[in-house]
Amino acid sequence: MRFLLLLVFYQCVMENVDSNRTSNPNFILIMADDIGIGDLGCYGNKTLRTPNIDKLAKGGVIFTQHIAASPLCTPSRAAFLTGRYPIRSGMAALSQIGVFLFSASSGGLPSEEITFAKLVKQKGYSTALIGKWHLGMNCDTSDDFCHHPLKHGFDYFYGLIVTNLRDCKPGQGSVFATGIQTFITMPIQIISLTLITLEVLHFIGLLRVSQRALGYVILLSTSFLGILLFFFYNFRYLNCFLMRNHQIVQQPLSYQNLTHRLTEEAVQFIGRNTDTPFLLFMSYLQAHTALYASKYFKGKSKHGLYGDAVEEMDWSVGQILDALEKRDLSNKTVVYFTSDQGAHLEEVSNTGEVHGGYNGIYRGGKSTNWEGGIRVPGLLHWPGVIPHGAHIHEPTSNMDIFPTVVNLAGAHMPTDRIIDGHDLMPLLQGKIIQSKHEFLFHYCNAYLNAVRWHPGNSDAIWKAFFFTPVFYPEDSNGCYHSHVCHCHGSYIRHHDPPLLFDLSRDPEERNPLTPETEIRFYDILNVIQQAISNHTKSLHVVPDQLSWGNILWKPWLQPCCSSVFLFCYCDHESRE
């Protein structure tokens, strides 16, 4: 009896130790933009210097099969914040454009979606987003902020509503020059043609309309054209601005000291919250184009401006880790590092400099579901609680952060919806050895592109592709004709039977299996078909946040920091 009591007592003490250390940790969730798994020292890069990120890896766990829920920014970030496939929230496009491009469009993360920030905030956490959002801003007016970070659980926001783009930095070229030129030129061509036709018909007497009606048509069309041209030439002013909470503080944004400013914001946020639990989502603009680096990093790396940008971001990570150490918070803080998707291989500057990163041995890159597009860096660091220097080779997802954070913060998981992520702690603490992600569904926008199956008690990782992007040039590793790969029509090639790989033997996805080389070929595909049918049944129809109507520019939604609409300019950021 006494022994039993002692045991109970002992267990209580042990649980106390354990729960004191593991309850209400702080969270610093770092997301880089477009950084490839092959860019970091801890994943084998020998020439790009990332000592601070490598330190994070050494003191924590390295995931070698960490999978982004989508190979594009907007859907990948929506999935990260909600723990759900983007198709469930309407953040996967049915049309060609899979991301938001304008600050004045009406789509965004719906307010019914629950982010981890919202849940931990209810548990008393201070929450901040510093850096890029890319999940919408307004719905009906230029200041309803229906999709704004502050509506989604963040107490504090400093950063960019849309995304860093070449068009935001003078002299860096334009993404509109190649991919979405049609946005501008097609309406112009249609209107001009219509006008000319009308004029001609009127002139030769085939069209009987009053001079006045014709005048109105011409006036309307030219105003429309004028607005379009105005928009195009003012892109930088209208879309590239920095906000602090609801206020625009710099329009257009300046790249001067930008990484310093973001870092300072992060360090100050940590400083304000040394005594209360906090969650910081540090969402770097680097290394998306337009690339930039401060004078301390420019020209210093062995990999051009791209390398400079990554090395500066690594410096910033170091500053944040230092701030934790100085305040004795390292053991109380879970630090996560990832990239929203793989490196953007097609990013080459107009002078031919490589502006995209490196995906190591993996095929393809951003905008494809080849491993290069979705197998991203994944590091978790929590001294004293999770092992250090360990590698986990099981499939994990960026959607797993949601349940992991929510559970550790002592918040309740939503019960009214499907959460696709799984808590990482059991895997990290060795309580289970097999990932709960038996299946992962890889979408290209709203189209199911491939399925990954990791059967229980087996090393195999089957991946079946129903279509693959058509690379151009054909023998290359990307879609160099259109800046990104697309998900439909002549941009893809269908496969029936699907292309099947075993990633455990063929991580480079070079040798598709056949019924001859894999006797279980059709059995494997059958199971995958069943999984798809189960998954598909769990989906509900929701509004498409990336429909044309939701992504096009709506002038009445245009945020502008000066009262004169035509001159959106302000700078409250200049420092003495």
Active site residues: 73, 134
Min dist. Cβ of residue 260 to ligand NAG (A): 5
Which is nearer to ligand NAG, 196 or 390 (by Cβ)?
A: 390
Which is nearer to ligand NAG, 101 or 525 (by Cβ)?
A: 525
DSSP tally for the chain: helices H, then strands E: 15, 16
Query: What ranges make up the beta strands (E) of 366-425?
Result: 375-381, 390-392, 396-397
Of 13-21, 79-87, 456-464, 470-478, which part binds ligand NAG (CB under 6 A)?
A: 13-21
- Give yes or no for residue 48 binding ligand NAG (CB under 6 A): yes
Min dist. Cβ of residue 463 to ligand NAG (A): 15
Which is nearer to ligand NAG, 260 or 554 (by Cβ)?
A: 260
- Give yes or no for residue 257 binding ligand NAG (CB under 6 A): yes
Tell me whether strands 61-67 and 278-283 are parallel, antiparallel or unpaired: unpaired
Which is nearer to ligand NAG, 110 or 307 (by Cβ)?
A: 307
- Give yes or no for residue 268 binding ligand NAG (CB under 6 A): no
User: Could you identify the residue written with the tokens 């994944």?
Assistant: 378
Alpha helices in 106-181 (DSSP H): 116-122
Min dist. Cβ of residue 356 to ligand NAG (A): 8
What is the rounded CA–CA span in Å between residue 501 and residue 508?
Answer: 9
- Tokens standing for residue 339: 């990239």
Q: Is 242 left (phi over 0), alpha (psi -120 to 50) or beta?
A: beta
Q: Is 154 helix (H, G, I), strand (E, B) or coil?
A: coil
CA distances from 75 to 82, 113, 228, 274, 364 (A): 11, 13, 27, 33, 18
CB-based contacts of 532, cutoff 8 Å, min separation 6: 441, 448, 451
Min dist. Cβ of residue 324 to ligand NAG (A): 11
- Give yes or no for residue 527 binding ligand NAG (CB under 6 A): yes
Of 77-85, 179-187, 530-538, 541-549, which part binds ligand NAG (CB under 6 A)?
A: 530-538
Min dist. Cβ of residue 24 to ligand NAG (A): 11
What is the rounded CA–CA span in Å between residue 555 and residue 551?
Answer: 12
Phi, psi of 509, deg, nearest 5: 55, 50
What is the rounded CA–CA span in Å between residue 342 and residue 410?
Answer: 32
CB-based contacts of 351, cutoff 8 Å, min separation 6: none
Residues in region 384-443 near ligand NAG by CB under 6 A? 384
Cβ atoms within 10 Å, residue 389: 10
Which is nearer to ligand NAG, 107 or 507 (by Cβ)?
A: 507
- Give yes or no for residue 39 binding ligand NAG (CB under 6 A): yes
What is the rounded CA–CA span in Å between residue 487 and residue 470?
Answer: 10
Which is nearer to ligand NAG, 376 or 551 (by Cβ)?
A: 376
Which is nearer to ligand NAG, 47 or 490 (by Cβ)?
A: 47
- Give yes or no for residue 331 binding ligand NAG (CB under 6 A): yes
150 secondary structure, DSSP code = G
Which is nearer to ligand NAG, 137 or 500 (by Cβ)?
A: 500
- 101 near 551, Cβ under 8 Å? yes
- 485 near 469, Cβ under 8 Å? yes
Residues in region 283-322 near ligand NAG by CB under 6 A? 303, 307
- Give yes or no for residue 332 binding ligand NAG (CB under 6 A): no
Binder to ligand NAG among 29, 30, 37, 38 (CB under 6 A)?
38
Site string for ligand NAG, 50-89 (x = CB under 6 A): ----------------------------------------
Residues in region 352-381 near ligand NAG by CB under 6 A? 357-358
Alpha-carbon torsion (426, 428, 432, 437), positive or negative = positive
Q: How far is CA 146 from the centre of its chain?
A: 20
Of 45-53, 125-133, 187-195, 506-514, which part binds ligand NAG (CB under 6 A)?
A: 45-53
Which is nearer to ligand NAG, 242 or 551 (by Cβ)?
A: 242
Binder to ligand NAG among 275, 328, 496, 516 (CB under 6 A)?
328
For the chain, what percentages of helix, strand and coil (3-state, to nearest 5) are there? Answer: 35, 15, 50
- Give yes or no for residue 457 binding ligand NAG (CB under 6 A): no
Phi, psi of 263, deg, nearest 5: -65, -45
Of 191-199, 209-217, 454-462, 524-532, which part binds ligand NAG (CB under 6 A)?
A: 524-532
Count of residues binding ligand NAG (CB under 6 A)?
26
- Give yes or no for residue 256 binding ligand NAG (CB under 6 A): yes
Min dist. Cβ of residue 174 to ligand NAG (A): 23
One-letter amino acid of 464: A
Q: Is 131 left (phi over 0), alpha (psi -120 to 50) or beta?
A: left
CB closest to ligand NAG, residue no? 384
- 313 near 286, Cβ under 8 Å? yes
- Rule CB under 6 A: which residues touch ligand NAG? 16-17, 20, 38-39, 44-48, 256-257, 260, 303, 307, 328, 331, 357-358, 383-384, 527, 530-531, 534, 575
